[in-house]
Structure 1
Amino acid sequence: MTSHPHPRADTVRGAAFVALSAMAFGAMAIFGRYTYAGGADVLGLLIVRFAIAGVVLALIAIRRRVVWPRARAVWPIMGMGGIGYVGQAFCYFTALEHAQASLVALLLYLYPAFVTLLAAWWLGERLTKVKVAALVLCVAGSAVMVGGGRGEPLGIGLALAAAVIYSLYIVIGARFTRGVDPLATSAIVCLSATAVLTVLCAARTLAGAPPHLPGTSGGWAAALAIALISTVAALLCFFAGLDRLGAARTSMLSTLEPVVTVALAAITLGEALTPLQWAGGASILIAVLWLVRAGGGAHDDEAVALEANQ
């Protein structure tokens, strides 16, 4: 007799997978800081992250006999990785050099608000009163976060730029990745990002300013953690949870990500949040949950799967 898992038990497992994914993604900013402390620069960190993650994800996809997309579908995904993902990652990890990790994480989490606006502008989705109210709350929360946080204008600007680029990545990607296995998409995105970063590394080396890889064992450990924990493991857990919970509940649980970053930043980096920052961060997370409950194209299965590629 074949036994089938109880639906409630499967839901609990799905929630556990998404929570683990959120913790892994949330730790990425902290690992980034330790990688920098080990002597790496942004380009060195990113080439290690995407090269290792891309190869591992591709091997997993091959082992699972994932169906790869046809050539016509591959080119847009490569563009997403080589342009969108590289741009977002550069902004995010550079912002960490100029602002609090907790501030950067919460500002990045404005992307659901930007996705909602882009979906209304490009896709003609209706902006309901609930969505408008949530967007206003997001803007107010981010203003309070910036006012109460510690960060150079460059760091704040780059964090916001990362959120905008990420939003474009999701809205465009939700169209071009429809019907493509998420694991195949993730592998192609990471490998495409690696190809572009390799060209950038070569250009900088020829110009006499080669990228700096980690120079200590601690720096390498942190860089490997970004690739294997905050990318590969986080993606696999996310997709396992998404398969069991669906898009809406997965998106809601994913709001744990900035909470984890804030908590780890306080524990490991001594980044104490002011009461004003707590209020602003809480406003952003409440608004994001509100947007998820309101529904919309920004949170369908394809878009949520793309949200995993942080």
Structure 2
Amino acid sequence: MNSHSHRNGHARGFGLVLLAAFCYGLQPLFAQYAYAGGADPVGLLLSRFAIAAGVLLVFLRWRGIPLPTGQLARQNLLLGFGYGLAALGYYSAARSASVSLAIILVYTFPAFVTVVSITCLGERSSTLKLVSLALALGGVSMATGLNLSGASMGALWALFAAVCYGASVIYGTHRINHENPLASAAMLLLGCALTFAVPAVLQGASLPSTALSWWATLGLALFATLVPVAAFLAGSPRIGPSSAATLSTLEPVVAVSIAVLLMGEQVTYAMLAGGVMVLIAAVLLARQGPSEREFSSLEGSATRDQ
């Protein structure tokens, strides 16, 4: 009975994490319609995170779940700032270059995390990690045509997103112990919204201006933000962080497929080969296995959610 329940729990976790990755991959499709309705990246992301945070706050109030306070609240807001900057880099890259190139370059973040972990956090190196890093760097070089200086600002925005996302992953893993994952997610989304509220007030932002673009923004906030956040938080503790990270590599596959099949983007052989190299590197780095601290943190989250 216990073994059967464990298998069911693992299968459910597997499905939830795959659902999260698929939903995250839908972002370019929703963003395309929002941009067509007059939104710019700052306006779109402000709307996205404000709606997502508002819906989640209503849910938490309905369930009687309190928000984090004190140091944990500040940490989650700071984490939201990092994720907000990563989102800005990704959306700016996808708009000025292409979704395919943007997602390939953004997914070099596991390599960035590994470099920082080895050089600054005392993590042990290994041949497999070094091979993975070489694959990631080779994939970037191939996807950008071996000429980052001549690449569009989109490529630089995407690499900026990878650095910001990697830094957020490191900070979230090594600095924060969440009391309730959904409450922390709400605070993180508030931090993301505040990240874009400031430049919107100071410099202005173009919000969606048509009914279709607002529907697309609502879809982005719900189906490509809240649903995957909830699915990942519910599923990852059941299968472990390394398996969850590996399954999450479905996101770039979905995003690039949408860009090619539904948005008419052209993918060169060099970009395709580079993307495959980056994806293999991400999978290899994810399969290195979680630290005991990461696993115990996720295990504790699962226990608190049940």
TM-score over 0.5 (shorter chain): yes
Q: Secondary structure at the match of 2:68?
A: coil
Residue 39 (str. 1) matches residue 33 (str. 2): no
Identity of aligned residues (%): 35
Are the structure 2 counterparts of residues 189 and 142 from structure 1 closer, same or farther at C-alpha, using a change threshold of 3 Å? same
The aligned amino acid for 2:72 is A
User: How far apart are the structure 2 equivalents of 1:58 and 1:182?
Assistant: 13
Match of 1:140 in 2: 138
Relative to structure 2, which stretch is displaced further, 221-230 or 180-189?
180-189
Q: Secondary structure at the match of 1:72?
A: helix
Contact map agreement 2:43 2:207 (CA 8 A) in 1: yes
User: How far apart are the structure 2 equivalents of 1:235 and 1:167?
Assistant: 18
**Alpha-carbon displacement from aligned partner over 1:145-167 (angstroms, at most 9, x marks no partner):** 11299x95200000000000111
User: How far apart are the structure 2 equivalents of 1:231 and 1:302?
Assistant: 26
Q: Secondary structure at the match of 2:169?
A: helix
- Residues 64-213 of structure 1: pairs in structure 2 closer than 5 A: 64-66=63-65, 68-81=67-80, 83-147=81-145, 153-204=152-203, 210-213=204-207
1:268 aligned residue (262, 283, 287): 262
**Alpha-carbon displacement from aligned partner over 1:226-256 (angstroms, at most 9, x marks no partner):** 1111110010111121132111211111110
Contact map agreement 2:72 2:178 (CA 8 A) in 1: no
Contact map agreement 2:242 2:290 (CA 8 A) in 1: no
Contact map agreement 2:85 2:195 (CA 8 A) in 1: no
Contact map agreement 2:56 2:186 (CA 8 A) in 1: yes
The aligned amino acid for 1:248 is S
**Alpha-carbon displacement from aligned partner over 1:41-82 (angstroms, at most 9, x marks no partner):** 11210111111111122233344444543402211221222x
**Alpha-carbon displacement from aligned partner over 1:186-223 (angstroms, at most 9, x marks no partner):** 1101112223422322222xxxxx32111222211221
Relative to structure 2, which stretch is displaced further, 238-247 or 127-136?
238-247
Are the structure 2 counterparts of residues 279 and 101 from structure 1 closer, same or farther at C-alpha, using a change threshold of 3 Å? same
Shift in Å, 1:287: 1.1
Contact map agreement 1:171 1:303 (CA 8 A) in 2: no
Contact map agreement 2:132 2:285 (CA 8 A) in 1: yes
Give TM-score scaled by structure 1 length.
Answer: 0.88
2:272 aligned residue (264, 278, 284): 278
Structure 1 alignment gaps of length 5 or more:
205-209, 306-310
User: How far apart are the structure 2 equivalents of 1:277 and 1:61?
Assistant: 43
Contact map agreement 2:90 2:157 (CA 8 A) in 1: yes
The aligned amino acid for 1:120 is I
Give TM-score scaled by structure 2 length.
Answer: 0.89
User: How far apart are the structure 2 equivalents of 1:67 and 1:250?
Assistant: 27
Q: Secondary structure at the match of 1:6?
A: helix
User: How far apart are the structure 1 equivalents of 2:56 and 2:168?
Assistant: 20
Q: Secondary structure at the match of 1:294?
A: coil
Relative to structure 2, which stretch is displaced further, 9-18 or 156-165?
9-18
Shift in Å, 1:39: 0.8
Match of 1:207 in 2: none
Shift in Å, 1:173: 1.8
Contact map agreement 1:251 1:299 (CA 8 A) in 2: no
The aligned amino acid for 1:190 is L
Shift in Å, 1:299: 9.7
Q: Secondary structure at the match of 2:186?
A: helix
Contact map agreement 1:246 1:301 (CA 8 A) in 2: yes
